Amino acid sequence: MNGELEISIGKLEEAEKCKESANILFKKMMYNEAIELYSKAIDLNPNIAVYYGNRSLAYLKTECFGYALNDATKAVELDKNYIKGYYRRAAAYMSLGKFKQALRDFEAVTKARPNDKDAKSKYLECNKIIKKIAFEKAISVTDKSISDIIDFESICIEDEYKGPSLLNEKDVSLNFMKELMETFKNLGKLHRKYAYKILLDAKELFKKQPSLVDITIPTNERFTVCGDIHGQYYDLYNIFQLNGLPSPENPYLFNGDFVDRGSFSVECIFTLLGFKLLYPNHFFMSRGNHESETMNQMYGFQDEVKTKYSSEMADLFTEVYNWLPLAHCINNKILVMHGGLFSRDGVLLEEIRNIDRNRQPPEEGLMCELLWSDPQLSPGRAPSKRGIGIQFGPDVTKEFLRTNNLDYIIRSHEVKHLGYEMAHDDKCITVFSAPNYCDTMGNKGAYINLDGKTLTPSFKTYEAVPHPDIKPMAYAHNLLSMLS
């Protein structure tokens, strides 16, 4: 008995040491390493709410919202009075756009602590979001889109405007794009009339494309695939410095998550849409999970557009994003999508091509999984660490490639230390192009060069470049920062 008691006490002490060490790593923003130690503490002593609560916060930092939700729920089950557990779970719900569930947790805290001003503030802020969404839904124009009601012709160009101009309001030119990029680099702004024109023209262009777009790379040409940019305009500018501006001889595919988190999302998206209009057959854009209204409400893009332009323009962006293609197939051999593969075998490329995408991303099905899924090391499928989509193993990738006669897939969606990762016997490639993500992660950025003859990926990595002193998440909803 005494021996067993000593072992038990030893485990308790070791668990506490693991937690304390994990806390130190967390403060250093070494979140994955902290998660490992919190997990070890839980293995040693699975009955402490704080261990789950702390790991939940680390999962939130790494965008594993599903895991964060599970841990917070476990923490509350272990200790009904553990207030941080309710906050962590509310943060996970908020991150997934589940505002009503988050409100229930804030309400539980206010009932437990009726005199807690902080709890009351969070409850009121969340309730405000829910009422705002309901109000906007109630007054929304159901029979007309924003693009139908914009009085484009009445917008005047003021004499004092010195930025780039679309001559005679005609199509985008290379000179316009060069001037636009330099204007953005110097914290200038595109006139709202030209901004509206780019959005309206881009929407019409995307509407003509299928949900799966075929791309052909000639044998003697190079093609570049970029991953998430997330509003890091100065790193996007650097990509074009390193790899050359887009052109018919230097085509690009940007694989989703152009906006949110980074505070120069407006500059990123207008640059990318401008090049799409300039080179419609040599510049491609896939939808990411952050090209959605819910994500934009929480992670900054919507308020950035409202600050720099208007609410009306923010709504028009939503319409444009609804028409973005969901995937691209290169030379009939490489499928490129933002997230990953599917919850069932047997999915054919033709099914992807025919997806009705003109909508907000659903919470299940092919469209959802294309935007949200992630690879895992173990075979089979598992619930997503994000709380939406799935995780898929190497056997799932192999079967999908065999079914569709493909060589490999390219996806993005996840921060990688080197900016890229090859998994599933090199048949599942992740590329992430936002270095030092959110100014905290310390990762490199990367892009992929392909040649049309071999389709062998060549990875180019780079460090983050300096940017003006406007922090990431500057436009994000203040409730997210309140919960962190």
What are the Cα distances from residue 476, in Å, to 94, 228, 231, 252, 480?
A: 12, 18, 12, 29, 7
For position 120, what pLDDT does the model report? 86
Which of 191, 230, 290, 477 is catalytic? The answer is 290
Contact 104, 122 (CB under 8 A): no
pLDDT (mean) for 339-344: 98
Q: Is the model's pLDDT at 3 over the cut of 50?
A: no
Residue 121 pLDDT level (bands cut at 50, 70, 90):
confident
Q: How far apart are CA 342 and CA 372, in angstroms?
A: 10
For residues 178 and 89, membership in a common domain is answered with no
- Which residue type does 93 have? Y
pLDDT tens figures, 130-161: 888 887 777 665 557 888 888 877 899 998 99
334-337 vs 408-411, strand pairing mode: parallel
Summary mean pLDDT of the chain: 93
pLDDT (mean) for 192-217: 96
For residues 87 and 219, membership in a common domain is answered with no
For residues 388 and 335, membership in a common domain is answered with yes
For residues 204 and 102, membership in a common domain is answered with no
> Of 85, 119, 139, which closes a domain?
139
Q: How many domains does the chain have?
A: 2
What are the Cα distances from residue 114, in Å, to 102, 106, 109, 111, 121?
A: 18, 11, 8, 5, 11
For residues 129 and 159, membership in a common domain is answered with no
Catalytic residue check, 338: no
CATH number (domain holding residue 17): 1.25.40.10
For residues 131 and 276, membership in a common domain is answered with no
> Of 139, 167, 201, which closes a domain?
139
For position 141, what pLDDT does the model report? 54
Q: What is the DSSP letter of 259?
A: S
Q: Is the model's pLDDT at 34 over the cut of 80?
A: yes
For residues 353 and 445, membership in a common domain is answered with yes
Q: Is the model's pLDDT at 406 over the cut of 60?
A: yes
For residues 304 and 366, membership in a common domain is answered with yes
pLDDT (mean) for 460-468: 98
For residues 163 and 107, membership in a common domain is answered with no
pLDDT tens figures, 15-28: 999 999 999 999 99
* Domain limits for position 26: 2-139
> Of 139, 174, 195, which closes a domain?
139
pLDDT tens figures, 157-172: 998 999 999 877 678 9
In terms of pTM, does the model score above 0.85?
A: yes
Alpha helices in 28-82 (DSSP H): 31-44, 49-61, 65-78
Contact 248, 221 (CB under 8 A): no
Residue 471 backbone class (left: φ over 0; alpha: ψ -120 to 50; beta: rest): beta
For residues 231 and 94, membership in a common domain is answered with no
CATH number (domain holding residue 416): 3.60.21.10
For residues 182 and 126, membership in a common domain is answered with no
For residues 178 and 259, membership in a common domain is answered with yes
What are the Cα distances from residue 465, in Å, to 28, 234, 444, 445, 473?
A: 21, 7, 11, 11, 18
Short-list 312, 333, 303, CA closest to 473: 303
